[in-house]
Amino acid sequence: MSRLKKISPFGAVVFAGGGVRCLWQAGFWETAVPELKLKPELVTGVSAGATMACMCLSGKIREGLEYFKKISGENKKNFYLTGPLRGVKAFPHFDMYRSTILETIDAGALRKIIEGPELSIVLSRPPRWLGPRSATVVGLVTYSLEKKIMYPVHPRWTAGLGFVPEIVSVRECRTPNDLADLLLQSSCTPPVVPIMKRAGGTVLDGGLIDNVPVMTLKDFQGMALIMLTRRYPVERIPFMPGRLYVQPSGTPPVEKWDYTNPAGLQSAFDMGRRDGEFFAAAVKKGMFRNQISCS
């Protein structure tokens, strides 16, 4: 049996978070998946990575990209200081994010997602000793400090403070609006995306616990493809049997919360397409270990 047959198709795929940098994943998926004929049975996503997973599984990648480029081109700023005085939000992100989901994923597309592989979306629940606003500050500061100091692929500090993951199946969504709610809850990073509730309790961006959500792989038997959205030194990428980490060939050329840069969105997507082609060729040749940097 060839090395390709041993690992393909990947039975599980993980979409890391990363804001609009996650368009790299969409481009990667568009070229790598058909070439390798991948049909995963388990998909996990967090934050914007969860949205990319939905776009990929619904077959709506191009529609979502074009719509988001259009409204990003019309949006002049990421922060409108006087917006509240004019009856509009200071941050345009929530409305733009939600409209992209709803303009792209209709009832038919949602049905296709639900009929596909098991798709799990990761949210985070703050500890009970913190209120919604204080939890946001504590969670974001803790996560950011650990990333800056330790630069881990899988952070641990917020979990140590009592933040816990909540895993929700997309199959719980009955309508596109339900899906939009779930994806925004997984991306909830106040003040850019306001504090949200689910089942009566506060939820925050699932990436606060782990922006590369591998917790669903605990009992998975098989090979998992884990798509990162930022560059890590090779020594930082974990070596674990059954997992293949892939990262961009360079830094995706757009900031994660930049909703004003359609050219950057396209460039991140195009980088993903090139890297997906490289990845497919590398896998076919058996050129991999526990990670591939598509460079």
Q: Convert the pLDDT of each residue in 178-194 to its tens digit.
A: 999 999 999 999 999 99
Mean pLDDT for the chain overall: 93
Query: pLDDT tens, 132-177?
Result: 889 989 999 999 999 999 999 999 999 999 999 999 999 999 999 9
The number of folded domains in the chain is 1
| pLDDT for res 292 | 53
Of 5 and 279, which is predicted with more confidence?
A: 279
- pLDDT tens across 275-285, in order? 999 999 988 88
pLDDT value of residue 5: 41
Pairwise CA distance, residues 240 & 237, whole Å: 9
Q: Structural domain of residue 247, as residue ranges?
A: 3-293
Quick: pLDDT tens for 86-123: 988 999 999 999 999 999 999 999 999 999 999 999 99
In the chain, the largest separation of any two C-alpha atoms, in whole Å, equals 66
pTM of the model: 0.94
Could you tell me how far CA 149 lies from the centroid of its own chain?
23
Per-residue pLDDT at 132: 85
Helix axes 107-114, 48-58, angle to 10 degrees: 90
Q: What's the pLDDT at 288?
A: 64
Q: How far apart are CA 214 and CA 45, in angstroms?
A: 9
Tokens 């004003």 -> residue = 260
Query: What CATH number should be reported for the domain holding residue 139?
Result: 3.40.1090
Cα–Cα distance for residue pair 289/227, rounded to 1 Å:
15
Q: Which one is predicted more confidently, 288 or 175?
A: 175
* Secondary structure class of 243 (helix, strand, coil): strand
Burial class (CB in 10 A: 0-12, 13-18, 19+), 127: middle
Is 90 exceeded by the pLDDT of residue 9? no
User: Tens of pLDDT along 221-253?
Assistant: 999 999 999 999 989 999 888 999 999 999 999
